[in-house]
Chains A and B, each alone.
Chain A
Amino acid sequence: MAVLDDLDVNPLLEGLDTERRAPPCVLVVFGGSGDLTSRKLLPAIAQLAHRRLLPTAFSVVGVARTEWTDDDFRRHALASGGTTEPGWARMVEGFRYVAGDYAEPDTFERLRAVLDEIDATRGTGGNRVFYLATVPQVFASVAAALGRHGLAKRSADGPKSFVRLVIEKPFGHDLPSARQLDRDLHEVFDENQLYRIDHYLGKETVQNVLALRFANAIFEPIWNRRYVDSVQITVAESVGVGHRGGFYESAGALRDIVQNHVMQVLALTAMEPPATVDAEGIRDEKVKALRAVKVLSPGEVPDHVVRGQYARGWVEGEEVPGYREETGIAPTSPTETYVAARLTIDNWRWAGVPFFLRTGKRLPKRVTEVALTFRDVPHLPFPSGMSTQLGPNALVLRIQPDEGITLRFGAKVPGQAFRVRTVNMDFSYGAAFVEESPEAYERLLLDAMTGDPTLFIRTDEVEHAWRIWDPVLAAWAEPTAPPPFAYAAGSWGPDEATQLLHGRTWRNP
């Protein structure tokens, strides 16, 4: 028989697939009429509803300047959810909308009244998740307004009610601005209420780096300087800047991809085994790895970091314009669309092992991977000429697309002679797990509602990542700094990036 002594326990939930079901709460989306909300957040909420992971006591409140009514927002949500299920339609009926300027106190007063009404009618118990799907310039002012209107701290409605704030990258545009943003947010929220999203961490295959490394006995013993010659991390996009020209001009590839996505992948690849796979256990080890990354001096930047900018070329069979020809881009723009870097990690595990990072737009294909190349065997016992097709062993973690793992090793070519050459052993997640993986936003939204910050960025991670890249940005900002190297759209970047490898070659993912 079930134990009914614990009044916090719902005995009817045991045994159901609801371990990660969200508690009763209201999700308040600032930027509720915006692009991120319609493309990512509302479809993710619809999927969570479809998977039965949302509670019956749940609502979404959109807040934005757009002059919409509740019904306008509901129609928008219904259409954006990407499903015709009646459960979604029923859920959307309870959504609300507050139209108003974020600078106007009245906006927040009306928001508070709506939230109180939802608590009273739907039983959401004062639990709130505020999501800032807005431009970063208003993060601090919205947080401050939430504080002024009594919406930021724990509610008095119930001893266990919660208030959380989710913010999207970029977290500042350099180290000082990131620290200022943190100070502003911490004026109102405790660190444990802040959920900084890097959607890369919500991808199943990024999380699989942890599973591969720490759930298997065979990889970790060779995951170090004794066996690994170098590590290459590639985050390649085939698209250009598209409609993000305005944003991209002020950001560039380093701020847009390297400082956050690439550094998160690097941290997961390089970190030590955590004592526990919980939020603090993993984030502590990621921070240690980031702290161990050697910070370049301004003089070292040219020999360790190459920036590029795509010129007109051909991608996927179509001729595409150069970056400076794109809409919203200055014809003399110095913004980088490509970054390659050689970093070192000064600790016992990785001393002397170069980490080569590469990201860019308008590269030949969209691919994200981590490749560990291993040292050569000390002696090849084969006759001369029999191993000319033998390359170094490599372990490649393919994060997207075609998620999986490739192990490259030498094998005998069938025949009378003892020729050896490199072969691939491929593992595809798609062949082993045919079920559908949740989308990154789906996973992260649920984590924010359930209060699991493991896949969110802690403030010290943000700071250490900026600490690594601030000198590079400073060097590039110098008037004497050379402009980005041009590369043809559809190529793997400027030739100058090869010089970072010191005789090695970039992989062709």
Chain B
Amino acid sequence: MSTVETLCVWAEESVRLDAVLHALEELRRPEPMPAVRNSVLNLCIVGADSRNVDRARAAVHELAGRHPARVLHLVLDPEARGGDIGLDARIELLGGEAEGRELWFEDVELVVRGPATAHLHSIIEPLTLADLPVVAWFVDEPPAVDDPILSAADVVLVDSRQLGGVDCFPNLTELVARHTVVDLSWMRLAPWRTLLAGLFEGPDFRPFVHHVTGAEVAGRTGPRHLVGGWLADRLGLPRNAIHLTEAEHVTIRLHAELPDGRRGTFLASRGDIRRVEARADVAGGPTSSAVLELPEATPAWGLADALSRLERDPVYECALARALS
């Protein structure tokens, strides 16, 4: 992770977009050695709740060493009328260092008012860096499928746990049919999924994966439903074979029985605050265990993996669909 500091700031109220673009060009000029552009993506944060926005920004800054991004934060005020129609803009040029390399990137905050809020693509596109993907991160609520921002975005980023858990799944299910959606809540489940899947590797354990008879999944609303949907889809389990219960952290326990009567139990659970532990026990056979340290529970958890993988995830989409069924 990198330490980020503000190199310079430009801010104006009620300005046109060309003034913002000009300011972006000018910001780097006073620096003694104009840096090569380091950004690898455009990240557009959409939301009004300052806590959510600040959390998102903190995550982006934390990841600057790995995914330096031009950050656009849009605050929308569609009800504004008359003389208020203009952009309030604030641009920060940020500098940091990662693995000995200097990184520069810009954080642009725009308050958009009036009719322009219905034509956001006309604002986003001029501000994005060419040839880099545009990721729209909705931090307050999932977008409607016809949200105008989506026409300018390559990828929709959400955190379904933050957006209400299972309550937002119907909306997300509609979205994934038309857009590439990356869900941070799903990304954070990867350690559990990886460890659980790994328990079935090897000739002593592999047969059991085809004979899972039931699953118990504990966790919060959203994550536990995604895990349940994933198991239902991947293992062909009927919904009534999966028992979901409320808990602070995710625990997954699978029960399997081979045709010859041998039974096995496969467990992935959070051992303590920072690790996931997994264990396989099969009757008359070897045992297998593994432990995986979780990253620190910062806002960036899951974001790094998400930004490395800006593409459709059919496994997630199926898990989402089965979570609702």
Contact = CB atoms under 8 A, between A and B. Distances in A.
Interface in B25-70: 36, 38, 40, 65-68
Nearest to A2: B234
Contact of A10 (B68, B197, B285): B197
B287 A434 contact: no
Given A18-B194, A18-B197, A434-B40, A12 B290 contact: no
Given A7-B206, A86-B275, A434-B101, A12 B190 contact: no
B38 A435 contact: no
A158 interface: yes
A124 B202 contact: yes
Interface string A55-68: 11100000000000
Interface residues of A, number: 44
Given A24-B201, A123-B205, A123-B288, A14 B293 contact: no
B202 A123 contact: yes
- The B interface is mostly helix, strand or loop, or mixed, namely mixed
A86 B191 CA distance: 14
Nearest to A436: B99
B278 interface: yes
A124 B285 CA distance: 12
A498 to B, nearest CB: 35
Contacts of A86: 275, 291, 293
Q: Which of A56, A91, A436 has the most chain B CB atoms closer than 10 A to its own CB?
A: A56
A434 B68 contact: yes
Nearest to B2: A434
Contact of A56 (B101, B210, B278): B278
B278 A123 contact: no
Given A10-B200, A125-B204, A90 B194 contact: no
B286 interface: yes
A11 B197 CA distance: 8
A23 interface: yes
Given A1-B318, A15-B315, A431-B101, A123 B285 contact: yes
Q: Which of B40, B103, B199, B288 has the most chain A CB atoms closer than 10 A to its own CB?
A: B288
A430 B190 contact: no
B193 interface: yes
A70 to B, nearest CB: 18
Nearest to B288: A56
A56 B280 contact: yes
Q: Which of B65, B103, B201, B308 has the most chain A CB atoms closer than 10 A to its own CB?
A: B201
Contacts of A21: 198
A51 B316 CA distance: 21
B151 interface: no
A18 B292 CA distance: 15
Interface in A105-144: 119-125
B36 to A, nearest CB: 5
Given A11-B209, A16-B190, A121 B315 contact: no
Interface of A: 1-2, 4, 7-8, 10-18, 21, 23-24, 52, 55-57, 85-87, 90-91, 119-125, 157-158, 160-161, 428, 430-432, 434-436
Given A7-B207, A55-B202, 11 more contacts: A10-B206, A16-B194, A18-B194, A55-B198, A56-B280, A86-B293, A91-B290, A121-B287, A125-B203, A434-B99, A434-B103
